[in-house]
Copies of this chain bind each other. A is one copy, B any other.
Amino acid sequence: MSKAIDTIRKIQTGELPPPPVATLIGFTLTEVEPGRAVIEFQADRRHANPMGTLHGGVLCDIADAAMGIAYAATLDEDETFTTLELKINFLKPVRAGRLVATGRLVKGGHTVGLLECDVVDDKDRLVARASSTCMTLRGEQAAGR
């Protein structure tokens, strides 16, 4: 059976277009395998909050993407998923520069998975750490999503 990861890999290689939110925020999927995904992102003035630093929510955007793709890459073609919740700790203010978010599956079961994500800056310093709980949807639950 064809796996969801095949579709995701086509996004990574450019055969398929990136999702709109990736274009809007400006993040790129650079690596993916089942249970692991790497997102790269260039923080600049467009992402600043009133204090001139990177808006924390943008770190959620890239962490959510990295963890969601890592989980999606474990699914079969007829499965989809939803993220139930996400938690993030902001560890270091960022002004500008390249960030890398690495999402990985900590533990997956038949229906629910726990994922984590480290976001590091270009000096490999930890900027944020996130976790999320994803749930696989099948059959009727998956239809129309």
Contacts and interface: CB of A to CB of B under 8 A. Distances in A.
Nearest to A115: B89
Contact of A85 (B57, B62, B133): B133
A-side binding surface: helix, strand, loop or mixed? mixed
Given A91-B114, A133-B85, A57 B64 contact: yes
B24 A24 contact: yes
A46 B24 contact: yes
Contact of A112 (B20, B64, B84, B87): B84
Interface of A: 7-8, 11, 19-21, 23-25, 45-51, 53, 55-58, 60-65, 68, 72, 80, 82-91, 93, 106-107, 111-112, 114, 126, 129, 131, 133, 135, 141, 145
List 9 tightest A-B contacts by C-beta distance, closest first: A60-B60, A57-B61, A57-B64, A21-B55, A19-B50, A57-B60, A85-B89, A87-B87, A20-B48
